[in-house]
């Protein structure tokens, strides 16, 4: 059996995959297997990126980073399901973040 890539999955398949990965992450966390927990969480984040239309991420805009209170990210460009840009404050080095962890600056958006 060949596994589908996230790009080939339907929205329903992606949601089911995310639920499975979150459950595996929860079990790994309960067992204290930190590295396995981190892998499943990252996979779930990547799968979630395929539920978001990249056109909703605007180049030059600032976004909050989910899971990083008080940190902001300025998008310079998109490549696939990653937004490339810079975090505000601190060192100005370019990095890529999955679009699924970028939140609009305005909560009501």
Among 13, 44, 12, which residue's Cα sits nearest to residue 28?
44
d(CA 69, CA 21): 24
pLDDT tens series, the chain, 109 aa: 568 999 999 999 999 999 999 999 999 999 999 999 999 999 999 999 999 999 999 999 999 999 888 899 999 999 999 999 999 986 789 999 999 999 998 754 4
pLDDT for the residue 105: 86
Fold adopted by 54-104: SH3 type barrels. (2.30.30)
First to last CA, the chain: 41
Q: Fold identical between 6-49 and 54-104?
A: no
Quote the strand ranges of the chain, DSSP E. Answer: 62-65, 68-79, 82-87, 95-98, 102-104
Query: What are the residue boundaries of the structural domains of the chain, listed by start?
Result: 6-49, 54-104
| CATH topology assigned to domain 6-49 | Helix Hairpins (1.10.287)
């Amino acid at each position: 059996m060949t596994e589908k890539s996230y790009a080939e999955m339907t929205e329903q398949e992606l949601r089911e995959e995310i639920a499975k990965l979150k459950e595996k992450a929860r079990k790994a966390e309960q067992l204290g297997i930190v590295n396995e927990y981190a892998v499943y969480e990252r996979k779930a984040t990547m799968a979630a990126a395929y539920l978001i239309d990249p056109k909703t991420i605007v180049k030059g805009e600032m976004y909050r980073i989910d899971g990083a209170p008080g940190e902001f990210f300025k998008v310079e460009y998109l490549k696939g399901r990653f937004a490339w840009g810079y975090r505000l404050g601190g060192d100005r080095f370019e990095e890529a973040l999955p679009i699924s962890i970028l939140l609009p600056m305005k909560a009501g958006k």
